[in-house]
Amino acid sequence: MIYSPTTMLHGSVEMPMHGLGVFQTADGEEVRNAVKWAIEDGYRLVDTATIYRNETGVGRAIADSGVHREEIFVTTKLWNSDQGYEATLRALEASLERLGMDYVDLYLVHWPVDEMTADTWRAMEHIRSQGVARAIGVSNFGPHHLDKLMAGANVAPSVNQVELHPNLQQRDIRRANEAVGCHTQAWSPLKQGQVLTDTTIRDIAGDHGVTPAQVVIRWQLQMGVSTIPKSVNPDRIHENADVFGFSLSTDDMTAMEALDDGDRIGPDPDNRDF
């Protein structure tokens, strides 16, 4: 068992710094196995979303795990077409039904939809006040989206989950998040595997006797960014969690910082077609 350290989100909600992502993981056996193996390995955070269409399998695997619901941090996300006050409340209810749970630990607005932000966030604040989500947050919000949200907000987002890996280090977003007490979480932390052949990362991995994926995950954690690598393979699920027995030096961290070339694997929140 390898347990992740935690961070304290505002509102005194404790969140593991490391968890399992389940994007592009089929509902049914595939997601149930991934979550099962992860929990057996000590993972205590699972990141799903309505649009991943696997909340049912995630909920089922957690229920079958033998670990108490309260010990597992469950994140799900509000899809774009469900934004707006009433629709947001209904969407979370439907997610809870699929998950077979009566609360989630973190509910995220999946993408900014500017004209809906104020109404959606009002619903998110209501959800938090009712305890149906212990913490609320956003995803894919740039500094200007955050400014707009904060202009009408009573409660700042606890988390902003954004694409973040060695090629896209999101310094401006990290600064903007920090300014409002919002924690930064990395999605596609491995750039879906594309950074794992980078020679700098491979050299650092060689120096420490670890794998390139472990270097990237360790780098995110040492920056104070939580991370949710996805895998459906039991060996890689284990490998991705086994990152607490070594640390990167200042020189390693500096070398990693130099890999930022702004290249994305996912959609640009300011220029997307969905």
In the complex, which residues of this chain contact ligand NAP (CB under 6 A)?
Answer: 21-23, 47, 110, 139-140, 161, 187-193, 196, 213, 228-233, 236, 239-240, 266
Pairing mode, strands 6-9 and 226-227 = unpaired
Which tokens go with 202? 């491979």
Q: Which of 112, 155, 165, 113 is nearest to 134 (CA)?
A: 155
Shortest distance in whole angstroms from residue 165 CB to ligand NAP: 7
Other beta carbons within 10 Å of 113: 16
Shortest distance in whole angstroms from residue 6 CB to ligand NAP: 18
3-state percent helix, strand, coil for the chain, nearest multiple of 5: 45, 20, 35
Counting Cα atoms < 13 Å in the Cβ hemisphere of 183 gives 27
Shortest distance in whole angstroms from residue 31 CB to ligand NAP: 10
Q: Which is nearer to ligand NAP, 57 or 189 (CB)?
A: 189
Q: Which is nearer to ligand NAP, 45 or 129 (CB)?
A: 45
Q: Which residue in 43, 52, 85, 103 is the catalytic one?
A: 52
Q: Which position has the token pair 């607005």?
A: 109
Shortest distance in whole angstroms from residue 123 CB to ligand NAP: 19
Shortest distance in whole angstroms from residue 11 CB to ligand NAP: 21
Q: Which is nearer to ligand NAP, 47 or 82 (CB)?
A: 47
Q: How far apart are CA 208 and CA 246, in angstroms?
A: 7
3-state secondary structure of 145: helix
Q: Which is nearer to ligand NAP, 21 or 157 (CB)?
A: 21
**DSSP state string for 48-93:** --GGGT-HHHHHHHHHHTSS-GGGSEEEEEE-GGG-SHHHHHHHHH
Spell 123-160 as b/e; 16+ CB within 10 A means b: bbeebbeeebbbbbbbbbbbeebbebbbeebeebbbbb
Cβ–Cβ < 8 Å for 35, 231: no
Query: Does residue 43 have an active-site annotation?
Result: no
Q: Which is nearer to ligand NAP, 60 or 77 (CB)?
A: 77
Q: Which is nearer to ligand NAP, 51 or 150 (CB)?
A: 51
Shortest distance in whole angstroms from residue 168 CB to ligand NAP: 11
Q: Which residues are tagged catalytic?
A: 52
